Structures are given as C-alpha cells and as structure tokens.
Chains A and B, each alone.
Chain A
C-alpha cells in the first residue's frame, strides 16, 4: 500500500536527490545571537570614532545604568528568541523570553519619563531629531544584518520572528545611543525615542514578515 502511495512523489524525490549538495548545519540560535551582538558592539566601537560621548558627561540619573542594562538584556534576549523561532520545531514560547527584560527596560525608564513630563517643558536643549536620525541610522544596518541571518534559517512564523528581531534592533539601538546622548532627557526626547522604537519594531514586523517568509520567495 505504502509503495503505491509513494510513487507519485518519485520524480520529485529523484529531482531533489539530483540537486543535493553538502550543507553546513547552521550554528545554534545562541551562537547566531552572539554573532549579531558582536556586530552591534563593532558598530558601537565604530561610532566612538565619529561621535562625542555626551552621555558620559553631565549629571547621571540614578536609573540610567538600569535602563542601559534593560536595553542590553532586551536586545540579547530578543535576538536569541528571533533566532530560536526561525528554526522549525522550536516552540513559539521562546517569544516570551524578552518580555521580562523589556519590562525592566521600560519600567526603569519610567522615572525619567515622569520627570520629563513634569519638567519645565518641551524645550529641547539638544535637537531631538539628532536622536531620531541616530536611532534610525543604527537600526537600518542592524536590521539588514539580522534579516540576512534569519533568512538562512526557516522562519515558519515570519511575522513573530520579524517582530522579535525588531525589538532586538530597537533595544540595541537604544543601548548604543546611551553613551552619545545626554542622559537627562526631555519629554520630546522620550516621545521621539518611543516613536522610533515602535516604528522600528513595526517596520521590521511588516517588511521582515515578507522578507523572511520562504513560501513567498
């Protein structure tokens, strides 16, 4: 019985066997996440050469190290979750991994946010569009690299994987911004940051979903 059922696929099997070439198995999601994190670090070091370390001067809010720690942890965990969900058979529960770090990141930003909203106003002492350009400029190459790396696997839930990738990129960009940005923020800063982060996540989700879906290639 089974032989009869197999026959209709014999031509396809022969064709696939004829096209077989040796392949090297992809590294584990953890290793791929570390490679991507290495690229983020390299980009940060490259930025040191061209930008001033404004963030390391002036007054430091008490929560600043926690915000930075939350952003770094979010970037790493979201990148790992994106790579894990790009492998068939890995549970979608990995998508929950960055939730706690993201809560820490956002929660730690809360006091600064409240201070900024209750502060003297929306005047920006240091053009906030600079932050916007920085975040987008950093996010773009990190997104391209992440999409290229994720495409090598097989994201069966491309939108979920892309959204996780977007979160990783947004968090990494925010972490990279910290040394180059005055840590005492204004309401405009926060709004620009929030909109940019959400925009990066959303754009990655929309565009990445299509870019990553192998059935649409």
Chain B
C-alpha cells in the first residue's frame, strides 16, 4: 500500500455525487459518473453562452473533480488547494477551447493534472511517499502515540489522589510551594506557619508521595 490516508481527507470522500456506498458498485459508479459528465457538460455549454448561474454551479462542481485529479498527481497540503484554484483560473481563461461535442471531464482533468505538475515542478520535488513506499513506512510520526494522553491523565489522577491523602500540613505545603509555586515567605504569610515548618512538611510530603507512587500499580499513600 502506497498511502494510508485519513478517510476525511480523501478528495473522493468529498465528491458530492459519489457517495461511499456506491464505491463498491461499478455499475452504480459508472452511472453516477455519466450523470455528472452530462450535468457538467450541459453547464459548460451554458457558461460558454454567458449563463452566470450555470457557470457558478459548474465551478463549484468542478472543485472536487479538480481536487481529486490534483491529489492523484501527488500534491498534498495547501498546495492542493492552490493547484485547484489555478485549475479554475485556467478553466476560465481557456473555456472557449472546450468543444461542446466532446466530454467535459477529460478536458477538466487534463487541465487540473497539468496545473498539479506545474506546482510540483515549482516545489522542486514530488512527495517521496508517492514513489517510495519503503521511505513512507519508515517515516517517524511526529504526533503523540495512541494512548499517550490517556496515560498522562491517569498519572495526574494518581498524583492528585496521593496529595489529597496527605495530612493537612503536608498537603498545604505541597499545594502552596510545589503546585502554586509560591515563595516560602508568601506561603508562610498565607498559611500562618513558619518557614521552617513549611520546609519540614514539604520534605515529609515528598517522601510520602514517593513512597506511595513508587509501588507498581499503587495509587494511594499507605497502600
């Protein structure tokens, strides 16, 4: 497999007249494609005659077709939409070159493919995963691994439970000095305890937390 794509980012998933349920039925797909061809060809003929509303509908219907053609050439990311816009501009400029007696979709796709190739040439290289499946498979994924957030949330919950189980003096020292990052003077003024007592309580609290969290699967002090 060359590419693993998120379904919601695949251009054919955006294609309004090609619902996913038809993908596995060639006859239905062929019928939908023919209907689209006829609809777009009729709209293009009307647009050549100056029908603005037909032209607006045509341009909008061309977007997913152009996007799929551009995507198939290997463009990704923002470059896809840039090439789609180039395709629309070219379509507008050369709309007289469309022969109403011939199919519309090959005409449109040829323009979109050429604009995609132009974009790739400008970019200087084609995306590697298109031609190099091994490199694509070996590419490290910069995003967090699955379940990484869940694990962090579980650790935070264990810590919160352990802090809550501390004696009041120690819990107060942890909350003020470690969690809220107050200075000794501020914490002493807020709690009414001496700086020395706060230091001792913090030291004991850390020792108790270390003991309670160190054991395998242990989440509560004293367990």
A contact set with B: CB distance below 8 Å: 1-2, 5-6, 8-9, 12-14, 16-17, 19-26, 28, 86-89, 152-154, 156, 214-215
Report chain B residues within 8 Å CB of A16. 55, 59, 88-89, 92
Contact across chains for B99 and A26 when beta carbons are under 8 A apart: yes
The 4 nearest A-B residue pairs measured at CB: A22-B50, A89-B106, A154-B94, A88-B110
B interface SS class? helix
Q: Is the CB of B97 within 8 A of A87?
A: yes
Give the CA-CA distance A186 to B60 in the complex, in Å. 63
Residues from chain A with a CB closer than 8 A to the CB of B8 are 1
Which residues in B have their C-beta under 8 angstroms from that of A21? 50
Q: Are A23 and B111 in contact (CB under 8 A)?
A: no
Q: B90–A214 contact, CB under 8 A?
A: yes
B74-111 vs A, CB cutoff 8 Å, 1 = contact: the mask equals 00000001001110111011111111101100111111
Q: Which of A6, A23, A89 contacts B95 (CB 8 A)?
A: A23
Q: How many residues of B contact A (CB 8 A)?
A: 44
Query: B14 at the A/B interface (Cβ < 8 Å)?
Result: yes
CB-based contact A88/B111 at 8 Å:
yes
Query: Which of B98, B106, B108 has the largest count of A CB atoms less than 10 A from its CB?
Result: B98
Interchain CB contact under 8 A, A25 and B111:
no
Contact call A26/B97, Cβ cutoff below 8 A: yes
A217 CB to closest chain B CB (Å) equals 9
A sample of 13 more A-B contacts (CB under 8 A), given A2-B16, A6-B60, A215-B115, is A2-B64, A6-B63, A13-B56, A13-B60, A14-B56, A17-B52, A20-B55, A87-B107, A88-B107, A88-B108, A156-B111, A215-B86, A215-B114
Q: B72 an interface residue at 8 Å Cβ cutoff?
A: no
Chain B residues at the A interface, C-beta cutoff of 8 Å: 8, 13-16, 47-50, 52, 55-56, 59-60, 63-64, 67, 81, 84-86, 88-90, 92-100, 102-103, 106-111, 114-115, 118
**A28 CA / B100 CA spacing, docked (Å):** 10
- Asked if A89 contacts B55 (CB within 8 A), the reply is no
Residue numbers in A under 8 Å from B55 (CB-CB): 16-17, 20
Which of A2, A17, A89 contacts B103 (CB under 8 A)? A89
**A–B Cβ pairs within 8 angstroms, 19 of them:** A1-B13, A5-B63, A9-B59, A12-B89, A13-B60, A14-B56, A17-B55, A17-B56, A17-B59, A20-B55, A25-B97, A25-B98, A25-B99, A87-B107, A88-B106, A89-B102, A154-B90, A154-B94, A215-B118
Q: Considering only CB atoms, which chain B residue lies closest to A23 in the complex?
A: B96
Task: Give the docked Cα–Cα distance between A88 and B102 (Å).
Answer: 11
Within the assembled complex, what's the spacing in Å between the Cα atoms of A215 and B56?
A: 23
CB <8 Å contact, A23 and B88: no
Find A87's partner among B49, B89, B99 (CB 8 Å cutoff). B99
- Assess the A22–B48 pair: CB atoms within 8 A: yes
Q: Is the CB of A88 within 8 A of B94?
A: yes
